[in-house]
Amino acid sequence: MSMDKIVALCKRRGFLFPSSEIYGGLNGFWDYGPLGVELKRNVKEAWWKDMVSGHDELTQIEGTPASFQMVGLDCSIIMHPQVWKCSGHYDLFHDYMVDCKESKKRYRHDQLRGRWLKAKEQSVFISSQTGGEEGLEETQTRALKFLGMRNKQVGDLEWESGMVSLLTVKDFSVVLAPDATQLGTLTEPREFNLMFKTFVGALAGEEGAAFLRPETAQGIFVNFKNVVDSTRVKTPFGIAQIGKSFRNEITPRNFTFRSREFEQMEIEFFCHPNQSQAWYKWWRDRRYQWYTNLGLSPERLILREHEPSELSHYSCGTADIEYAFPFLPQGEFGELEGIAHRADFDLRSHQEGKLVKDGETLIVENGADGKPRHKGSGKDLQYFDDRVRERYWPHVIEPSAGADRGTLAFLCEAYAEEPVEGGEVRTVMRFHPRIAPVKAAIFPLVNREGMPEKAKELYRSLKGDFGVQYDDGGAIGRRYRRQDEAGTPVCITIDGQTMTDNTVTWRDRDSLQQIRVPFGEIETRLRSLLKP
């Protein structure tokens, strides 16, 4: 399915718009339109209901009965700057970028790829921002241009390799950057911290410097003690948060997939270290199932365990849930969510401080081992289990999802085109009813004979409980098409027969079946559609 068509539908129907569009937009920022805001809210509400307010407390881990509690938080976006020093973001949350001196464009070092070409007695690296077939074609076109050859001479190109990452290239003087005409215009890779910096209050100097949070998780860790002290939660338990995060991504792209402002849905699940591996597996599987329950197809969704070499030093396991987005080359997947076993790393760091990266001079305190550390809070963040009188550092399992990436996956999955009678093509968004922006559309067949009055009465009676729309504009076929593009699961039409026997036409978005349903059954039917 082509991404261009999905992007066009999102604009046409009001799912997504570029931010500040009348001023030319701002790269990496997006606005959700009237349908998009409902879709994304439904995704977040389904998550909150399934993971927090309505989750089933009784479960099993590795065949043993278990139970757990979940509570929520809503923390501030700007936090004490020390939070980011102890979390590691201040020192380590960076990507490497390379700048092109010719085009003035900036790229992520790890995202550029290319092919080696034999040209003018030397090996030249022709780079590209895309992989797969597209990348091959792009490098071919650029190689021809670079050597001043014609299209029909393509067979004369002497490729020395397939597509490889720029990370494998040591000498940049032989690289042709993606938007350059000469070799050797890329700078050496430089670190670029992804946190947005701002200044709090009237202080413009470093004392007032603060950061917009790059993840919601840290708000949960620093409130761990507050939650334990103010509620009756006992391990194992989870704390959840949904909220905006900000990352100054070097190359935002692929629609909302990589944005600079986005929303996360994160859980920190605290448990006894003896049980953490079992809970890790439980959460990994539960989170995968959540996406398939809401309609993502298992053929396009994978659960990928990280290789030991990919794991952070403290992690005992990380898995990504990845989706085959249409903008990715065939066979590639993009991350929707990461589920990480973080052991006791975060709580410990916020209590004891964190080792400073080698070679930096920052405000630090010497730790017990004599090494420089970012100063921790010094507060006791251990957990005391009064049931067994045991004090310990809980282990943490962190399922961390992106609300925008999830929403984008649901949009891509839902998009379908199918031939209908008369040789026409119907575009339909097959959202799961729980996340569909509009649950039912209500139409009077014609604008007379009491039908609009009856339709409006039905509309008003449902509106308090369901997202419904009233539409009396144009031919009924056109109205159906509009609702198909919005992904509305049901259209309910008040017609001539309604006026005599009090039944309506109930039209199903997917099967296109039309049946007669008594007025009194409408609400129950809608309710059962929306059950998890």
- Residue numbers of the site for ligand ATP (CB under 6 A)? 215, 247, 249, 258-259, 262, 264, 335-338, 400-402, 404-405
CB-wise, 333 or 392, nearer to ligand ATP? 333
Are 94 and 357 in contact by the 8 Å Cβ rule? The answer is no
* CB closest to ligand ATP, residue no: 402
CB of 405 to ligand ATP, least distance (A): 4
**Euclidean distance between CA atoms 376 and 365, whole angstroms:** 9
The terminus-to-terminus CA distance of the chain in angstroms comes to 28
CB-wise, 409 or 468, nearer to ligand ATP? 409
**184: phi > 0 → left, psi -120 to 50 → alpha, else beta; which?**
left
User: Could you give the dihedral angle defined by the CA atoms of residues 79, 85, 89 and 95, in that order, rounded to the nearest 10 degrees?
Assistant: 130
**Euclidean distance between CA atoms 349 and 217, whole angstroms:** 14
| 3 state SS of 105 | coil
390-392 and 261-271 strand pairing: unpaired
CB-wise, 252 or 376, nearer to ligand ATP? 252
CB atoms within 10 A of CB 43: 24
Report CA 62 to chain centroid distance, whole Å.
Answer: 29
**Euclidean distance between CA atoms 380 and 153, whole angstroms:** 71
**Euclidean distance between CA atoms 395 and 127, whole angstroms:** 43
94-99 and 190-193 strand pairing: antiparallel
CB of 357 to ligand ATP, least distance (A): 19
CB-wise, 249 or 346, nearer to ligand ATP? 249
Task: Give the tokens for residue 460.
Answer: 């008003």
CB-wise, 72 or 372, nearer to ligand ATP? 72
**Euclidean distance between CA atoms 415 and 255, whole angstroms:** 15
CB of 305 to ligand ATP, least distance (A): 15
CB of 373 to ligand ATP, least distance (A): 24
CB-wise, 320 or 352, nearer to ligand ATP? 320
CB atoms within 10 A of CB 495: 19
CB of 448 to ligand ATP, least distance (A): 50
Report CA 56 to chain centroid distance, whole Å.
Answer: 25
CB-wise, 85 or 258, nearer to ligand ATP? 258
**Euclidean distance between CA atoms 258 and 251, whole angstroms:** 8
CB-wise, 138 or 215, nearer to ligand ATP? 215
**Euclidean distance between CA atoms 255 and 9, whole angstroms:** 13
Longest dimension (CA), the chain: 87
User: Could you give the dihedral angle defined by the CA atoms of residues 291, 295, 299 and 300, in that order, rounded to the nearest 10 degrees?
Assistant: -70
CB-wise, 215 or 268, nearer to ligand ATP? 215
CB-wise, 55 or 306, nearer to ligand ATP? 306
**Euclidean distance between CA atoms 56 and 53, whole angstroms:** 9
- Give the H or E element holding residue 317: strand 317-323
Of 106, 109, 113, nearest to 96 by C-alpha is 109
CB-wise, 91 or 249, nearer to ligand ATP? 249
- Give the H or E element holding residue 15: none
